[in-house]
Amino acid sequence: EETGKSGYDHFMLKEIHEQPRSLRQCLQGRVDELAGQVTLEELPSLSPTRVHLVAAGTSYHAALYGAHLLQERGIPAQPFYAHEYASFTPPGDDALVVGVSQSGETADTLAAMREAHRRGADTLAVTNTVGSTLARESDHVLYIRSGPEIGVAATKTFASQLTALNLLTLSIAAGREARDVIASLRDLPGDVQAVLDDSKAEQVASAFADSDSYFFIGRGLHFPVALEGALKLKEISYEHAEGFAAGELKHGPLALVTENTPVFALVTGDGEAARKTIGNVKEVEARGAPVVAITDGLSDVGRYADYVLPIPESHPRVAPILANVQLQLVAYHVANQLGRPIDKPRNLAKSVTVE
Ligand code: G6P
């Protein structure tokens, strides 16, 4: 097992560092920058009237992100927890039902997809695992091509799920911005490498490793990444963490904010979303909370932050993938400093095959 880690202390850290390569594999042969086109050879041309995305855990956060992408392109799309979908299937036999699952073996997701199939819906698997039950049982399959992931905490596969859902969205409804998105996707492996080469996440983790709780806030496409940042930290450090849609903070969670609850704020670009999230940053700062900004530096959020974890400038659809790398490293280093068994957290399994 030691040799499998290629010199890294944990599979999780190795897999975080494998992301430039796994993302390159995910994009390989699928994007034509000049034409501004995406070709997904394994898929027929799909033009769904609506899309339901079903998933669990980290993959649910990818589903939330995917639904948001499709909605931006005018396609009605909704994410569902797979276990909820199987029991309380919403109307929509005309929906394309997309099951997002790294393993392709999660029982909840399989049950949701079987229910969709029973109702006659068209089904699409977005998975890492060739020959998995999900891949075999679905009408269509889009592989994320991450390569095997050993660490229980999903890292590189989440990045590839977000990337594959970008490709899927471009293939269903390209839009005028397709060229710009594709250019950012082309730069993504190199940009992730730049984050990995220069991250100060370990210092941030040392500063906050004994906090009462950790909060993550983001708007729009950053919201799923805020949820994922919190989930990652919970899973491997056993510390309490929550992700919030930044605008929701004032509707309750603000009561939890103290000088012992660092707030990680995802702020990219300099538009309205950035401005509003900076407003939320000021609210928590006024209550004494330390702030860590994950930012491309286009706004002045750094002025209100105790620490800045920078990411390169990228298209708004791609920036969350870069921001997530910083949060993966924060979770890893907090857990490492607390001496947790990072690759095999208590009570968790890589793939949960019971409902
Ligand atoms: C388990 C794992 C999570 C994972 C979830 C969904 O709960 O511990 O890390 O996100 O299953 O797995 P899947 O293989 O369907 O993506």
Indicate the top mutation candidate among 58, 108, 127 to test ligand 1's pocket, ranked by most ligand atoms within 8 A of CB: 58
Active site residue 282: no
How far apart, in Å, are the Cα atoms of 333 and each of 201, 218, 314, 330, 346?
7, 21, 25, 5, 18
CA-nearest residue, atom 4 of ligand 1: 57
pLDDT score of 174: 84
Q: Whole-angstrom Cα distance, residue 285 to residue 215?
A: 13
Instruction: Indicate the average pLDDT of the chain.
Output: 95
pLDDT band for position 93 (50/70/90)?
Answer: confident
* Distance, CA of 242 to CA of 233 (rounded, Å): 9
Ligand 1 mutation pick, 98, 103, 231, 342, max ligand atoms within 8 A of CB: 103
Residue 33 pLDDT > 90, yes or no? no
- CA–centroid distance, 242 to ligand 1, in Å, is 18
**Mean pLDDT lowest among 88-102, 158-172, 177-191, 241-255:** 88-102
Residue 86 has pLDDT above 90, yes or no: no
Please tell me what DSSP assigns to residue 90.
Answer: P
Do 280 and 249 touch, CB atoms closer than 8 A? Answer: yes
- Please determine, for residue 2, whether its predicted confidence score (pLDDT) is greater than 70: no
Average pLDDT over residues 175-198: 95
Confidence of residue 1 (pLDDT cuts 50, 70, 90): low
Alpha-carbon distance of 341 to 355, in angstroms, equals 26
pLDDT at 90 over 80: no
Structure tokens at 262: 């660092």
Q: Rounded to an integer, what distance in angstroms lies between the CA atom of residue 252 and that of residue 240?
A: 17
Q: What pLDDT, in 10s, does the model give residues 196-234?
A: 999 999 999 999 998 999 999 999 999 999 999 999 999
Q: What is the pLDDT of residue 243?
A: 98
**pLDDT at 91 (0 to 100):** 74
Q: Which residues, judged by CB distance below 6 Å to any ligand atom, belong to the binding site of ligand 1?
A: 56-59, 101-103, 106, 109, 152, 154, 348-352
Q: What pLDDT, on a 0 to 100 scale, did the predictor assign at position 208?
A: 96
98-124 average pLDDT score: 96
Q: What is the pTM of this model?
A: 0.97
pLDDT of residue 34: 85
How confident is residue 68, by pLDDT bands cut at 50, 70 and 90?
very high
Residue 280 has pLDDT above 80, yes or no: yes
pLDDT of 326 reads 98
